[in-house]
Structure 1
Amino acid sequence: MYHVCWRCGAFAADKEILPDPAYPEGGHGLAICPACGHAHPFRRWPLLIVGGASGSGKTTLLHRMLQERSARRGPAALLLEADILWQPALDTPQDNYRAFCQSWVRLALNLGQQGPPVVLFGAGLGVPDNLEGIPEVRWFTGVHILSLVCDDEVLAGRLRERPAWRGTREEPFIAAQLRFNAWNRAQRALPDPPLTLLDTTDATPEDAAAAAWRWLERALQVSPGG
């Protein structure tokens, strides 16, 4: 809804984003219409993503955090599984899954206007290159990615133990996820790592959730929102 100008009706996703001087403490912004110059006030949150290879523990972590969220533990946040919108037509590695990733970033932006920040759980969203060039990313105060990793034998074992209908038992699929797991691990060695790693090899769901809540609290301190 923020891409359509409230004054002139022009559509633009790449509006200029400025701080809102009415909120010197941050957390709010102004989106400037390129057609008429109207300044649209909006709430700014960090873009929060939990990624990692299939089998690294994203869904288990999400379920545990949802249970704890209902018990009012941890910071307020809307936790969403990105795969609920997945369909074969969105499987476009040639453009870094642009339609899928942009849809979720746009949804997170709009949902964040109504309450707490959104945390997206999804493998592809956790790859920084897949977010490059998405204009809505600029509307956020920062990007924070928690990437789940685990030992290769543990990852392969988890994938083989899943029900057959999920299609994760085939060796080519397992090999691809092991490569992705290795890629995530390798980010730690970069001078400015784009990801925060959480090793779930021996972690209980409770331990993983506690670590994820701490990551979320730190992210909200580094990139505070409205």
Structure 2
Amino acid sequence: MFNVCTNCGLIHEEYIFDESGLLVCATCGERRPFRRLPLLMIGGPAGAGKSAVGALLLGELTEAVLIESDLLWRREFNTPDDGYYNYFRLWLRLAGNISQSSHPVALFGAGFAVPHNIEPLPERRFFNAVHYLGLTCDDEALAARLRARPSWRNSSDELVAAHVKLNHWLKENAATTSPPVTLIDTTHATVEQTAALVASWIRERADTTYSC
């Protein structure tokens, strides 16, 4: 939508905002309004409860557009060496477009609770704030949940180890990342209890006052 200048018609990926918050075309200088809303990131390891919570909140929580990020995942996005750069850029572009309809976006996905995956990206400037929430649980509970999944979900030892590692990383680093990550421990909570906490967190941050 906003990659194409309405004046000169050129496509570009240089996202420049002037001091008043208008989006500026890098080629011709055309300025136009742009809604910069909060972006809400709900992440954490597989098995911590993200998908179950998101499914429970769909149709119930109307303050934000809730999206499960796995729907765009493809094999070519599996690039851990560059921090899944193209995958996260694609999602920020999509969320920025949705925000132009005056609705903030809440994305649910494993790596979305890791600020260094998001903060350096060019599209980060589409949002006036990005808030991070991580769902975690005890390592033993996480491993048990993953191994209890049906075989088609491929909960191999390698996958379990990778998500236990992410679980550790969040618990050890959430307070010191920039910005910090809010954590919810789901070890002993029901899906309904966790969903209520996530809904409250989203509602507190889904301010539709925007920079334009």
Please give the TM-score of this superposition, normalised by the length of structure 2. Answer: 0.92
Unaligned runs of 5+ in 1: 21-28, 70-74
Alpha-carbon distance between aligned partners in 2 of 1:135 and 1:53, rounded to the nearest angstrom: 25
2:152 matched residue in structure 1: 165
Q: Does 1:146 align with 2:133?
A: yes
Is the aligned partner of 1:80 residue 2:74?
no
Task: Describe the shift of the 1:225–1:217 C-alpha distance in structure 2 as closer, same or farther (beyond 3 A).
Answer: farther
Structure 1 distance, partners of 2:24, 2:179, is 32
Deviations 1:79-130 (CA, angstroms, capped at 9, x unpaired)? 0000011111110011111111111110001011124111110112222121
Matching of residue 130 in structure 1 with residue 117 in structure 2: yes
Deviation of residue 189 (structure 1)? 4.1
- The residue aligned with 2:173 is 187
Aligned pair partner of 1:220 in 203, 206, 211: 206
Question: After TM superposition, which residue ranges in structure 1, 4 or more long, deviate above 6 angstroms?
Answer: none
* 1:66 and 1:79 in contact (8 A); partners too: yes
Greater RCO (Cα-Cα under 8 Å, separation 6 or more): 2
SS in 1 for 2:134: strand
Once residues 8 and 67 of structure 1 are traced to their aligned partners in structure 2, the CA distance between those partners, rounded to angstroms, is 40
Structure 2 unaligned blocks of 5 or more? none
The answer to whether the 8 A contact 2:44-2:112 is kept is no
Gap change, CA 1:210 and 1:16, over 3 Å in 2: same
| CA displacement at 1:148 relative to structure 2 | 0.4
Counterpart for residue 25 of structure 1: none
- 1:19 to 1:162, Cα distance in 2 relative to 1, 3 A: farther
Indicate which of 77, 82, 86 corresponds to 1:99. Answer: 86
Equivalent residue, structure 2, for 1:72: none
Which amino acid is 2:50 matched to? K
Give 3-state SS (helix, strand or coil) of 2:133's partner.
Answer: strand
Q: Secondary structure at the match of 2:29?
A: coil
Distance in 2, Cα, partners of 1:15 & 1:58: 31
Residue by residue over 1:191-214, the C-alpha shift from the partner in whole angstroms, topping out at 9 and shown as x without a partner, is: 765211111111122211111122
CA pair 225-214 structure 1, distance change in 2 beyond 3 A: farther
Distance, in Å, in 2 between the alignment partners of 1:15 and 1:171 is 42
Report the number of matched residues. Answer: 211
Counterpart AA for 2:182: T
In structure 2, how many angstroms separate the alpha carbons of the residues matched to 1:93 and 1:37? 36
Give the structure 2 partner of residue 60 of structure 1: 52
Residue 175 of structure 1 corresponds to which residue in structure 2?
A: 161
Change (3 A) 1:44 1:122: same
Q: Percent identity?
A: 43
Q: Contact 1:31 / 1:42 at 8 angstroms: preserved in 2?
A: yes
Provide the secondary structure at the position in 2 that maps to 1:225: coil
Tell me, in whole angstroms, the C-alpha distance in 2 between the residues paired with 1:43 and 1:49. 18
Report SS of the residue matched to 1:125. Answer: helix
In structure 1, C-alpha distance between the alignment counterparts of 2:121 and 2:174, rounded to whole Å: 25
For residues 10 and 106 of structure 2, what CA distance do their matches in structure 1 show? Answer: 30
User: Which segment is superposed worse, 8-17 or 45-54?
Assistant: 8-17
Shift of 1:17: 1.7
Which amino acid counterpart does residue 176 of structure 1 have in structure 2?
Answer: A
CA contact (8 A) 1:30 1:40 kept: yes
Q: Provide the alpha-carbon RMSD of the alignment.
A: 1.9
Residue type of the alignment partner of 1:12? H
Find the aligned partners of 1:131 and 1:190 in 2 and give their Cα distance: 16
